[in-house]
């Protein structure tokens, strides 16, 4: 279980696990997984924008998007 408390320039949270992994390792693995997912989203958005066309008004072009 993770509890998150907001701060002005940081995140404070508690990590609970079964004890197989240290709390630091749980957080590092979670960050690694999240980074991979964010990278995948970024690639999809980049590919989508490459093929998107815009009219001068800034609205979507003939591609229906």
- Whole-angstrom CA distances from 45 to 13, 18, 19, 20, 37 are 31, 37, 38, 37, 12
Q: CA 41, 42, 47 angle in degrees (round to 5)?
A: 100
Task: Report yes or no on whether pTM surpasses 0.85.
Answer: no
- Per-residue pLDDT band at 1 (split at 50, 70, 90): low
pLDDT band at 29 (very low <50, low <70, confident <90, very high): very high
pLDDT above 90: residue 20: yes
Model pLDDT, residue 28:
93
pLDDT tens digits, 30-62: 999 999 999 999 999 888 887 776 556 655 555
The residue whose two tokens read 């490459």 is 50
């Amino acid at each position: 279980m993770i509890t998150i408390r907001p701060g002005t320039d940081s995140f404070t949270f508690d990590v609970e696990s079964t004890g197989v992994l240290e709390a630091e390792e749980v957080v590092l693995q979670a960050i690694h997984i999240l980074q991979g997912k964010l990278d995948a989203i970024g690639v999809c958005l980049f590919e989508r924008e490459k093929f998107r066309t815009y009219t001068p008004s800034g609205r979507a072009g003939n591609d229906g998007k």
